[in-house]
Amino acid sequence: MIYIILFVMLLLLDQFTKYIVEQSFYLSESIPIIDDVFNLTYVENRGIAFGLFQGRLNIISILTVVAIVAIFVYVLRNKKTLSMLEHFGYTLILSGAVGNMIDRLFRGFVVDMLDFRGIWSFVFNLADVWINVGVFLLIIDYLILHRNEK
């Protein structure tokens, strides 16, 4: 139950931030939060991570739905054997993937706004953060599990 609540909260937070940016910013408008390090910048990403596959919405959407369903089925089938870290990791990944999928379905693009221009050259959103943190948690879990098996 906690994972469902977490999923919904993360999804709502992602969608809320995208809505606020879309309503408050002009396309490509950027507001410095921390000079030369972090800006909020409104970008419409018509691809996937790092702007790859621009303009291929149908393929991206199909692959995203397949990935979401595959992860969901995997979690359901293995929920009793998954560690807490794996549950959190998959919850984060699913909430991020669904958040970006909602954008693609209803907007035709993904709203990105987190711009660490002094550190990173790509603009991203909270859903991307959820996905990356989720993958990181799965890697940590795998490394810990493997170390304990030896």
Tens of pLDDT, residues 3-36: 999 999 999 999 999 999 999 999 999 999 999 8
Percent residues over pLDDT 70 in the chain: 91
- Please report whether residue 143 resides in a domain: yes
Q: What is the pLDDT of residues 84-116, one digit of tens each?
A: 999 999 999 999 999 999 999 999 999 999 999
- Please report whether residue 28 resides in a domain: no
Q: What is the pLDDT of residues 50-68, one digit of tens each?
A: 666 666 767 778 888 999 9
- Please report whether residue 38 resides in a domain: no
- Please report whether residue 24 resides in a domain: no
pLDDT of residue 118: 80
Q: Does the annotation count 112 as an active-site position?
A: yes
- Please report whether residue 76 resides in a domain: yes
- Please report whether residue 25 resides in a domain: no
Q: Which residue among 103, 112, 115, 141 is the active-site one?
A: 112
pLDDT of residue 146: 65
Provide the 10 A C-beta neighbour count for residue 78: 12
Q: Which residue among 14, 103, 115, 128 is the active-site one?
A: 128
- Please report whether residue 26 resides in a domain: no
What are the DSSP calls for 77-105, one per residue?
A: HHTTTS-HHHHHHHHHHHHHHHHHHHHHH
- Please report whether residue 112 resides in a domain: yes
pLDDT of residue 150: 52
Domain hosting residue 143, numbered range:
2-18+43-149
As for how many domains the chain has, the answer is 1
